[in-house]
Amino acid sequence: MEFGVYTFGDLVTDPHTGTTISAHTRMLQVLDLARKAEASGLDVIGVGEHHGEEFVNSATAIMLTAMASVTSSIRLTSAATLLSTADPVRTYQEFATADLISNGRIELMFGRGAYTDNFPLFGYELTDYDALFLEKLHLFQLLNSQDRVSWSGQFRPPLVDAPIAPRALQPQLPVCIGAVSPASVKRTAEMGYPISIPVLDGKLETYVELATIYKETWRTCGYNETEESISFYGHMYLSEKLEDTYSSFFPNYQNYRLPWTKNRLSRIEFDRLIAPDGALLVGTPEMVAEKISYLRLQTGAKRFVGQIDIGAQTEQIVHRSVELLGTNVRALVNEKCRF
């Protein structure tokens, strides 16, 4: 199984100190995270796209390029790219450029994202979301597989035998789709794309059910079972001592979730989420490895990627979580799963 981390470069106020670091310091932290992830033996690092003041990244291919420049082998993925409000031509050009610079380590995840700031910013209607996503996904597939593209559609000017340059180093940039509603999970399988499922709330078994929908649809459609591909993404914190989860992480996580869920996370809800059947990958390496092993054994998932640098935790604490993921959690999962 592959393990990784992803970041949104969130700019949250640290509840322990009351301070908020600058976008510049946060950017340097994110590059440190990439170095640390590679040094800890992780397989992949991801970056999410946001367009508000609470996050430092709105230009994912640039951050992945910077990460590529301070690492040598870790794979680099968007998590996710908000394709619906982007121009797929620019998106291909940008990630192909990053692929050349990184010696072929780039991947893309396309998805809707947790926020919708990008719709008004780029002049799109949220009601067009599905039509935008499907049209642009199809166009990206053409751009990704042909040096010259002819195409016309509803949301972008047509292309007439247009050269698309530069070409990526990889024959095609690997693409997966981030999806979490049963309908979008099913559609992802129907279209034959690898899936990344965000595991963020509620019960863990819900995500096994989603993966089951994906797998059943994949088989119904007659796709090759060996090409089926499921990844899980989720908030993560690791510490040898369980009490640190409450004293150190919990206040950070409350601050992180506030703009997203609008309600302040209570201790009771937090306890439900970190319980053995809860969806939050937070606690000791043993607790978290148990959950990842469950997901792996139930679904055959190939990759787990944790958002580990959230809520203004110190770099020291974040890097310790990264180390525990790369060593203890990986070893425990490999032992439990043995396949």
Q: Where do contacts with a second copy occur on this chain (CB under 8 A)?
A: 23-24, 27, 31, 51-53, 55-59, 61-63, 65-66, 68-70, 87, 89-90, 93-94, 97-98, 100-101, 103, 117, 120-124, 147, 156-160, 162-163, 165-167, 169
Cβ proximity to a second copy, 39 vs 169, nearer residue: 169
Q: How far apart are alpha carbons 184 and 194 in whole angstroms?
A: 12
Q: How far is the CB of 106 from a second copy (least distance, A)?
A: 11
First to last CA, the chain: 8
Decide: 192 and 225 in contact? Cβ < 8 Å.
Answer: no
Decide: 303 and 262 in contact? Cβ < 8 Å.
Answer: no
Q: How far is the CB of 50 from a second copy (least distance, A)?
A: 8
Cβ proximity to a second copy, 165 vs 242, nearer residue: 165
Question: Could you give the 3-state DSSP secondary structure of residue 24?
Answer: helix
Q: How far is the CB of 128 from a second copy (least distance, A)?
A: 13
Residues 6+ apart with CB under 8 A from 136: 83, 84, 86, 88, 155, 156
Amino acid identity at 67: M
Q: How many helices (H) and strands (E) does the chain have?
A: 13, 11
Cβ proximity to a second copy, 86 vs 195, nearer residue: 86
**Per-residue burial over 26-48, b = 16 or more CB atoms within 10 Å of its CB, e = otherwise:** bbebbeebbebbbebebbbbbbb
Q: How far is the CB of 85 from a second copy (least distance, A)?
A: 10
Q: How far is the CB of 117 from a second copy (least distance, A)?
A: 7
Q: How far apart are alpha carbons 88 and 84 in whole angstroms?
A: 9
Q: How far apart are alpha carbons 326 and 65 in whole angstroms?
A: 23
Q: How far is the CB of 80 from a second copy (least distance, A)?
A: 17
